[in-house]
């Protein structure tokens, strides 16, 4: 329904909500998994480079598009460039959002159920075989994971229904600090484990001779996924921004916090894995099988385990909110529906789309797409292909269609100075499109 556009209440509220969007399963589940699979420090190094060269510049661009267009992700492009079909970027973003949230809610549902499993003492004496057994019998159960997934979607929708200030901003400003406290507690626990140092080095020390295209592609997808780029979440949050916010500075703060939390998660998980002589490259189940073993072996492990999954669920929730918000904001304007009705419909769609991902760990485990189980396929499709592709189109739009000169006018409203505008515009016009096109084409061909 049309009305004055909602706005963030405060700058802190905006930063918390956007950091909340950025920090999620991507940092605590996907990042350590990717580091584990691609051999440690080298991944971290490439990841850092890509954040600097691609992540931060694109975040500045996306926030600027959002604030300029003051609308949902389809209309922002129409408003800025009415004559050309660039709004299709927005449509692609909404579709990608639905796909991401469909598998995101599955993993987040697992995380919710693990809070319960730890609190009920299920892992108290889990040995390696048992932890695996607990995980696989749970995820292959025909309806239990669906139940937890649905619960997670309901929680997400309940917050989105309440709107920007009373829903999203309030939830983020309360939940994010709680998450930071929990993280530091766990960090202390993990680093004081005997033998943690080996893992610490493995994680932090880059072996540059190990760089290959697969690692670069993986790190690129991870940057997009983790910074919530290429899907309209940042554009949408930017559209609730008031004119006096300093966009480049905010982008730097948000990206640094996101990176910081990914590194913290790595520092919690990887040294613990090494301290217990476990395997870091086990893929998506890493934190659901390996970590419980760590918790089972330490004093008060139940408590730390429950806390860890509480933390993961909170982080996932504030991200899922931002994904659902993109879809809801668009549905609401385009189909002229209330926020409530749009949220319910979007949530329902997400649940339906998520069913095959959930079942791919059980009944549907024989059904492979390009050799991947369904859940891993949609993860790959969205993070490695769709997000960077939309990022590439957005960079072309910013660099060549709307032009950096016009972005500058929007960025420098109210006396904000953008000192790095020159290098930013070179990155947007040349480096970002070329690098993205190269990595995408060669990575997918390989
Ligand atoms: N950034 C979120 C995470 O790391 C996931 C996400 C992707 C959120 C895309 C919004 C858009 O978990």
Q: Which residues contact 120 (CB under 8 A, 6 or more apart)?
A: none
State the pLDDT at residue 446.
Answer: 66
Q: How far is the CA of 22 from the centre of ligand 1 (A)?
A: 5
- pLDDT tens, residue by residue, 304-354: 889 889 889 989 999 999 999 999 999 999 999 999 999 999 999 999 999
Give the Cα separation of 446 and 443 in Å (integer): 5
Q: What does the buried/exposed string (b/e) look like for 404-433 if buried means 16 or more CB atoms within 10 Å of the residue's CB?
A: beebeebbeeeeeebeebeebbebbbebbb
Name which residue sits closest to atom 10 of ligand 1, judged by CA. Answer: 228
Give the Cα separation of 309 and 118 in Å (integer): 9
Mean pLDDT estimate for the chain: 90
Is residue 324 within a helix (H) or strand (E), and if so which, with residue range? helix 301-334
Query: Which atom in ligand 1 lies closest to the alpha carbon of residue 323?
Result: 10
pLDDT band at 369 (very low <50, low <70, confident <90, very high): confident
For range 273-300, the mean pLDDT: 81
Place of tokens 């604030």: 67
**Entry pTM:** 0.92
Q: Does residue 231 line the site of ligand 1, with CB under 6 A?
A: yes
Listing DSSP states for 268-314 in one string gives: HHHHHHHHTT--TT--TTIIIIIHHHHHHTSTTHHHHHHHHHHHHHH
* pLDDT above 60 for 1: no
State the pLDDT at residue 260.
Answer: 94
Q: Which residues contact 124 (CB under 8 A, 6 or more apart)?
A: 296, 301, 302
Q: Does residue 34 line the site of ligand 1, with CB under 6 A?
A: no
State the pLDDT at residue 126.
Answer: 72
pLDDT band at 3 (very low <50, low <70, confident <90, very high): low
Select from 228, 264, 325 the residue to mutate for testing ligand 1; criterion: most ligand atoms less than 8 Å from CB. Answer: 228
Name which residue sits closest to atom 11 of ligand 1, judged by CA. Answer: 228
- pLDDT tens, residue by residue, 118-151: 999 888 877 777 888 899 999 999 899 999 999 9
Long-range contacts of 93-96, Cβ-Cβ distance < 8 Å, separation of 24 or more: 93/230, 93/231, 93/232, 93/235, 93/326, 93/390, 94/232, 94/326, 94/327, 94/330, 96/230, 96/231, 96/382, 96/386, 96/387, 96/390
- pLDDT tens, residue by residue, 234-246: 999 999 998 888 9
CA 62 to chain centroid: 16
State the pLDDT at residue 49.
Answer: 95
Beta bridge partners of 368: 373
* pLDDT above 80 for 273: yes
Q: How far is the CA of 312 from the centre of ligand 1 (A)?
A: 13
Select from 18, 19, 21 the residue to mutate for testing ligand 1; criterion: most ligand atoms less than 8 Å from CB. Answer: 21
Give the Cα separation of 1 and 328 in Å (integer): 12
């Amino acid at each position: 329904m049309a009305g004055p556009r909602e706005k963030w209440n405060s700058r802190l509220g905006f930063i918390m909500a956007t950091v909340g969007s950025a920090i999620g399963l991507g940092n605590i589940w996907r990042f350590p998994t990717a580091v584990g699979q691609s051999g440690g420090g080298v991944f971290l190094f490439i990841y850092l480079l890509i954040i600097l060269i691609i992540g931060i510049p694109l975040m500045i661009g996306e926030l600027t598009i959002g604030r300029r267009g003051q609308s949902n992700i389809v209309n922002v492009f129409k408003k800025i460039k009415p004559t050309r079909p660039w709004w299709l970027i927005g449509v692609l973003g909404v579709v990608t959002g639905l796909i991401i949230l469909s598998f995101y809610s599955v993993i987040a549902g697992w995380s919710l159920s693990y809070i319960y499993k730890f609190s009920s003492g299920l892992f108290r004496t889990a040995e390696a075989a048992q932890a695996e057994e607990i995980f696989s019998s749970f995820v292959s159960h025909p309806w239990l994971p669906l139940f937890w997934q649905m619960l997670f979607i309901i929680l997400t929708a309940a917050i989105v229904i309440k709107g920007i200030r009373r829903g999203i901003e309030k939830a983020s400003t309360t939940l994010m600090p709680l998450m930071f406290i929990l993280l530091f507690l766990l960090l202390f626990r993990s680093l004081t484990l005997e033998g943690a140092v080996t893992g610490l080095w493995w994680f932090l020390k880059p072996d540059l001779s190990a760089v290959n295209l697969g690692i670069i592609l993986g790190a690129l997808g991870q940057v997009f996924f983790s910074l919530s780029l290429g899907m309209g979440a940042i554009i949408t949050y930017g559209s609730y921004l008031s004119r006096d916010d300093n966009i480049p500075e905010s982008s730097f703060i948000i990206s640094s916090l996101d990176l910081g939390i990914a590194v913290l998660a790595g520092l919690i998980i990887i040294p613990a894995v090494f301290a217990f002589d476990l395997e870091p490259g086990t893929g998506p189940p890493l934190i659901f099988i390996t970590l419980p073993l760590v918790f089972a072996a330490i004093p008060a492990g139940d408590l730390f385990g429950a806390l860890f999954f509480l933390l993961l669920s909170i982080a996932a929730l504030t991200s899922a909110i931002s994904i659902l918000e993109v879809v809801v904001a668009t549905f609401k304007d385009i189909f002229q529906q209330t926020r409530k009705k749009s949220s319910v419909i979007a949530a329902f769609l997400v649940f339906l789309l998520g069913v095959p991902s959930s079942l791919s760990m059980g009944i549907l485990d024989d059904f492979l797409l390009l050799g991947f189980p369904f859940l891993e396929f949609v993860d790959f499709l969205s993070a490695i292909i769709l997000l960077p592709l939309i990022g590439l189109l957005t960079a072309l739009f910013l660099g060549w269609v709307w032009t950096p000169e016009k972005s500058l006018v929007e960025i420098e409203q109210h006396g904000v100075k953008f000192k790095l505008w020159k290098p930013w515009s070179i990155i947007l016009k040349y480096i970002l499109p070329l690098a993205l096109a190269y990595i995408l084409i060669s990575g997918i061909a390989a």
